[in-house]
């Protein structure tokens, strides 16, 4: 977490990488792209007024870059006045059947890379790769995906492996944020809080991304109650919003991405509450569909109006 005094102008607000293709038109992965491609990406980020970015390992895996390429990534970002705020290891659960140990090793490597690059936080979760149905769907959250088993032994394994990662992160001076995500042990407010308490490390907290739950085409818990339970544990925060509607009799549900200001979650309310509870971590602007980067910039400007002059 950040201890220095913060203002609405200095609070770290990063953009996600959803607006950039993980694989170029010529088939080259962004991870392997030439410096010119990276430079163009950071130029776009800078041109929209962002001073920070989250590196998603779906796009670039810092631990798998050569030391020279890692240095180049930071050098290019710095030339555009963009900070590498975090690395987010996604869809590589430490309890994924058949791949848990491999994913654990990858997460350890990304923690070391994040520390080397001077990042503020290491971010991960328990969500797994998309199911075939999710890959076919227009919006992946409308189709069923993997589900963590209702099994105490598996949950205990998740706790042990996440505690191991948290201890590693602490040893290099990083907080570790666990992202809330449906059908995982981080899929409800109660289960997520219980998991943090079971891990029981001061540097391990939540990424209370309630937007991941608001968008589901199924019954959900009240967004106010979910925030009230999870915000005391927040160390990093992916923020996004969805317009949601549902039938009074529970016969149908629908959601689509929208801006932070217009969606179901009242961020004016929950941001004020988070700060009241002591949240001082970075924000990450996230958006699916359309001009993701542009909407993230709009959301950033809105968020600045919600932040205090000092905190």
Across the range 52-79, mean pLDDT stands at: 98
pLDDT score, position 1: 43
Across the range 277-281, mean pLDDT stands at: 97
pLDDT in tens, 149-208: 999 999 999 999 999 999 999 999 999 999 999 999 999 999 999 999 999 999 999 999
* β strands within the chain, DSSP E: 13-15, 52-56, 83-88, 121-124, 176-179, 204-207, 237-239, 241-246, 253-258, 283-285
pLDDT score, position 2: 45
pTM of the predicted model, to two decimals? 0.95
Alpha helix (H) residue ranges in 146-222: 152-171, 189-199, 211-214
pLDDT score, position 309: 87
* Whether the predicted pLDDT of 18 surpasses 70: yes
In the chain, what are the domains?
Answer: 13-306 (3.20.20.150)
Give the chain's mean pLDDT. 97
Across the range 264-286, mean pLDDT stands at: 98
Q: How far is residue 102's CA from residue 98's CA, in Å, rounded to a whole number?
A: 9
Question: 3-class DSSP state for residue 250?
Answer: coil
pLDDT in tens, 82-134: 999 999 999 999 999 999 999 999 999 999 999 999 999 999 999 999 999 99
pLDDT score, position 3: 53
* Whether the predicted pLDDT of 4 surpasses 70: no
Query: ∠153-157-162 over CA atoms, to 5°?
Result: 150
pLDDT in tens, 38-49: 999 999 999 999
CA-based radius of gyration for the chain = 18
Q: How far is residue 221's CA from residue 226's CA, in Å, rounded to a whole number?
A: 7
Q: Are strands 283-285 and 253-258 parallel, antiparallel or unpaired?
A: unpaired
Percent of the chain exceeding pLDDT 90 equals 97
CB-based contact 33:65 (threshold 8 Å): no
Which tokens go with 246? 């549902």
CB-based contact 256:227 (threshold 8 Å): no
pLDDT score, position 208: 98
Write a three-state SS string for 13-30: EEECCCCCCCECCCCCEH
Q: How far is residue 226's CA from residue 290's CA, in Å, rounded to a whole number?
A: 28
Q: Which helix (H) or strand (E) holds 103?
A: helix 100-116
The total of other beta-carbon atoms located within 10 Å of residue 51's CB is 17
pLDDT score, position 125: 98
């Amino acid at each position: 977490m950040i201890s220095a005094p913060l203002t609405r102008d200095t609070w770290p607000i990063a953009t996600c990488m959803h607006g950039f293709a993980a694989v170029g038109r010529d088939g080259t992965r962004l991870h392997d792209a030439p410096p010119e491609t990276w430079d163009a990406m950071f130029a776009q980020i800078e041109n929209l007024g962002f001073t920070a970015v989250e590196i998603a390992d779906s796009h670039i895996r810092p631990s798998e870059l050569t030391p020279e390429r890692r240095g180049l990534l930071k050098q290019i970002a710095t030339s555009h006045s963009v900070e590498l705020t975090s690395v987010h290891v996604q869809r590589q659960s430490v309890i994924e059947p058949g791949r848990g140990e491999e994913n654990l090793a990858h997460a350890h490597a990304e923690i070391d890379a994040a520390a080397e690059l001077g990042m503020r936080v290491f971010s991960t979760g328990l969500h797994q790769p998309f199911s075939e149905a999710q890959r076919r769907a227009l919006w992946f959250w409308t189709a069923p995906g993997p589900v963590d088993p209702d099994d105490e032994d598996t949950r205990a394994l998740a706790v042990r492996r996440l505690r191991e990662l948290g201890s590693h992160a602490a040893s290099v001076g990083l907080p570790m944020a666990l992202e809330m995500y449906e059908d995982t042990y981080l899929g409800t407010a109660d289960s997520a809080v219980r998991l943090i308490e079971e891990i029981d490390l001061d540097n391990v907290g939540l990424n209370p991304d309630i937007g991941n739950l608001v968008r589901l085409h199924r019954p959900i818990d009240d967004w106010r109650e979910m925030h009230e339970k999870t915000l005391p544990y927040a160390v990093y925060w992916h923020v996004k919003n969805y317009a949601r509607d549902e039938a009074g009799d529970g016969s149908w549900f629908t959601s689509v991405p929208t801006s932070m200001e217009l969606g179901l979650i009242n961020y004016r309310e929950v941001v004020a509450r988070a700060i009241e509870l002591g949240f001082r971590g970075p924000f990450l602007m996230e958006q699916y569909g359309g001009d993701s980067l542009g909407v993230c910039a709009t959301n950033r400007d809105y968020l600045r109006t919600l932040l205090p002059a000092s905190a």
